[in-house]
Structure 1
Amino acid sequence: MAQFWNPAYSCFTFGKVDLVPTVEEYTTLLRCPRVQVNKAYSRAANVSTFVKKLMNIVNLRDMTLAHPDVKKRVNVFTLSIYGLRVTPVPAILAETFRSLSTCRRAGEGRFIRCVQLLLVWFHSHFWKVDKVSYQVFFENYSPLKEVATTPRIDNISEEKWIAILQNLQEQDVEWKAAWMVPDEILYRCGSFDWVPLLGIWGAVGYAPLLVLRQYRSR
Structure 2
Amino acid sequence: MSITGMSEQWVAARIKQKGDSKYIPWRSLKDAILTHLDVRKRLDVFALSIYGLVVFPKALGYVDEAVTNLFDRLDKKVTLIPVIFTETFRSLSACRRTGDGRFIECAQLLLAWFYSHFWKVDKVSYRVFFENYSPLKEIVATPRRDDISEEKWMVILQNLQEEDVEWRAPWLLPDEILYMCGNFNWVPLLGVCGAIGYAPLLVLRQYRSRQFIPATQGIANCEFSYKDDGYKKKIQKMSSAWKQTRRMRGLAVGPMITPKYNELWGKRINDNIPKIEETKQRKKQRAKRAEKEGKKERKKEKEKEKGKFKVLRFQAQLLMSCTSHCPRKERRKWTRSDSREIPVSKKNQCSIQHPK
Interval containing the TM-score (normalised by the shorter chain): 0.5 to 0.7
The offset of 1:118, in angstroms, is 0.5
SS where residue 92 of structure 1 aligns? helix
Distance (Å, rounded) in 1 between the aligned partners of 2:127 and 2:188: 32
Letter in 2 for 1:103: C
CA contact (8 A) 2:188 2:196 kept: yes
Structure 1 length-normalised TM: 0.59
Residue deviations 1:116-158, cap 9 Å, x none? 001111121113513543x25xxxxx54233332235543322
Q: 1:91 aligns with which of 83, 96, 119?
A: 83
Letter in 1 for 2:81: V
Letter in 2 for 1:100: L
CA contact (8 A) 1:64 1:77 kept: no
Distance (Å, rounded) in 1 between the aligned partners of 2:153 and 2:8: 44
Residue deviations 1:65-87, cap 9 Å, x none? 47564531422333224545521
Could you say if the C-alpha distance between residues 63 and 143 of structure 1 is closer, same or farther in structure 2, counting changes exceeding 3 Å?
farther
Distance (Å, rounded) in 2 between the aligned partners of 1:200 and 1:95: 7
Matched, 1:79 2:30: no
The answer for unaligned runs of 5 or more in structure 1 is 1-53, 137-141
- Higher gyration radius (CA): 2
Identify which of structures 1 and 2 has the higher relative contact order when contacts are C-alpha pairs closer than 8 Å and 6+ apart.
1
| Partner in structure 2 of residue 150 of structure 1 | 142
Distance (Å, rounded) in 2 between the aligned partners of 1:99 and 1:132: 31
Letter in 1 for 2:141: T
SS where residue 187 of structure 1 aligns? strand
The offset of 1:93, in angstroms, is 1.1
Structure 2 length-normalised TM: 0.38
SS where residue 204 of structure 1 aligns? strand
The answer for unaligned runs of 5 or more in structure 2 is 25-64, 120-125, 211-356
RMSD in angstroms over aligned alpha carbons? 3.2
Matched length: 159
Could you say if the C-alpha distance between residues 132 and 126 of structure 1 is closer, same or farther in structure 2, counting changes exceeding 3 Å?
closer
The offset of 1:207, in angstroms, is 1.9
The offset of 1:184, in angstroms, is 3.4
Distance (Å, rounded) in 1 between the aligned partners of 2:208 and 2:23: 41
Could you say if the C-alpha distance between residues 76 and 153 of structure 1 is closer, same or farther in structure 2, counting changes exceeding 3 Å?
closer
SS where residue 174 of structure 1 aligns? coil
SS where residue 188 of structure 2 aligns? strand
Kindly indicate which of the two structures has a greater share of residues assigned to helix.
2
Could you say if the C-alpha distance between residues 202 and 68 of structure 1 is closer, same or farther in structure 2, counting changes exceeding 3 Å?
closer
Letter in 2 for 1:186: L
Could you say if the C-alpha distance between residues 64 and 113 of structure 1 is closer, same or farther in structure 2, counting changes exceeding 3 Å?
farther
The offset of 1:205, in angstroms, is 1.1
